[in-house]
Amino acid sequence: MELHVIVGKGPVGTTTAEELVARGHSVRVLSRSGGRSTDAVEHRRVDAADVDAVASAARGAAALYNAVNPAYHRWPTDWPPVAAALLAAAERTGAVLVTMSNLYGYGRPGGPMTPESPLAASDAKGLVRARMWTEALAAHEAGRVRMTEARAADFVGPQVPGDHSHLTRQLPALRRSRRAWVIGDPDALRSWSYLPDVAATLATLGTDQRALGRAWHVPSATRSQRQAITDLAAAMKVGPVAVTGIPWPVLRAVGLAVPLMREVVDVRHQFDQEYVIDATATTETFGLTATAWDEVVRATVAGVPVTV
């Protein structure tokens, strides 16, 4: 049994803690608000940007997981100090730094994204994530830390709060057989990462030396928003529902008052064309595969979350 320390107790941190416990490891979760410890998981109140506090809590850990989730519109201000603190804590303790990341760093893709695709982002959020990766990789190549990174697509699953997923937020409307309003082109293919698959990938990266020094994609399903919403509606046994893209001028107007929507407009390239990842390397190296889509749909509709 090894100690694994997770920073962040949101959906990713919580589900990863559950996965690590199931694999027989000791888990400590750090968060700003703390939590109630159990026999399986210890909770501590720690500010993720406080390198001394994080390093102290991670002393003796085999791996340190970055599952922090700053407010969407505050990435440029909130991410740099947290990333720097966790990188420094990993260097001090010798724990493997496992970062939960996303696809923003790739910018506008020209086809399916692989971990070797160029980090060509030009928007603020993508530049933040790209910088986090390059700084951690430089520390790894200099021999200061051991690190790896998981990159996932849009989350799906009952573990994801409704306002944190482009799919789960549609469930209330679907239950009433109402039109689903989506961002971008409803028919553009997208990848969807099931939270238990995200957790399985993170736990594997934190326990397998082959993961070090590179990024890995979470095995994910590929469906357009229209296809995915139609599947959810069918599983809920409601009639066919209309799926319509919200016009971009409307979203820009809403963004004048709502910071979150303004940030969405800033990454329009993620919604107006195919946005798909290739996780072949993850499957070939670790044997991880995406959960069957039918099972993902059933679980999401049933709404049974993982709790720790």
Per-residue tokens: 98: 């496992």
The 3-state DSSP class for residue 205 equals helix
Residue-by-residue DSSP string for 123-185: SHHHHHHHHHHHHHHHHHHTTS--EEEEE--EEESTTS-GGG-TTGGGHHHHHTTPPEEEES-
Q: Which helix (H) or strand (E) holds 221?
A: strand 221-224
Question: How confident is the model at residue 66, as a pLDDT?
Answer: 98
Checking if the pLDDT of 304 tops 80, the result is: no
Question: How confident is the model at residue 307, as a pLDDT?
Answer: 39
Which of residues 264 and 18 earns the better pLDDT score? 18
Residue-by-residue DSSP string for 23-53: TT-EEEEEESS-----SSEEEEE--TT-HHH
Task: Calculate mean pLDDT across residues 21-44.
Answer: 96
Question: How confident is the model at residue 258, as a pLDDT?
Answer: 81
Task: Calculate mean pLDDT across residues 278-302.
Answer: 97
Which of residues 168 and 195 earns the better pLDDT score? 195
C-alpha span between 38 and 2 (Å, rounded): 17
Share of the chain above pLDDT 90, in %: 83
Identify the CA nearest to 269 among candidates 188, 194, 193. 188
**Average pLDDT value for the chain:** 94
* Domain residue ranges of the chain, discontinuous segments joined by +: 3-153+194-218
Burial state string for 63-84 with b = 16 or more CB within 10 A and e = fewer than 16: bbbbbbbeeebebeebbeebbe
C-alpha span between 24 and 52 (Å, rounded): 28
pTM listed for this prediction = 0.94
Question: How confident is the model at residue 251, as a pLDDT?
Answer: 86
Question: How confident is the model at residue 164, as a pLDDT?
Answer: 74
Q: CATH number of 3-153+194-218: 3.90.420.10, 3.40.50.720, 3.90.110.10, 3.50.50.60?
A: 3.40.50.720
What pLDDT band is residue 303 in, cutting at 50, 70 and 90? confident
What pLDDT band is residue 126 in, cutting at 50, 70 and 90? very high
CB 235 within 8 A of CB 298: yes
**81-112: per-residue pLDDT in tens?**
999 999 999 999 999 999 999 999 999 998 99
Please report, for residues 132, 141, 220, the alpha-carbon distance to residue 138 in angstroms, rounded to integers and kept in the order given. 10, 5, 28
Question: How confident is the model at residue 130, as a pLDDT?
Answer: 97
Q: Which of 18-27, 166-175, 251-260 has the lowest mean pLDDT?
A: 251-260
Identify the CA nearest to 182 among candidates 98, 246, 265. 246
Which of residues 173 and 101 earns the better pLDDT score? 101
Question: How confident is the model at residue 262, as a pLDDT?
Answer: 82
Question: How confident is the model at residue 306, as a pLDDT?
Answer: 40
Checking if the pLDDT of 188 tops 50, the result is: yes
Share of the chain above pLDDT 70, in %: 98
**252-262: per-residue pLDDT in tens?**
888 888 887 88
**212-233: per-residue pLDDT in tens?**
999 999 999 999 999 999 999 9
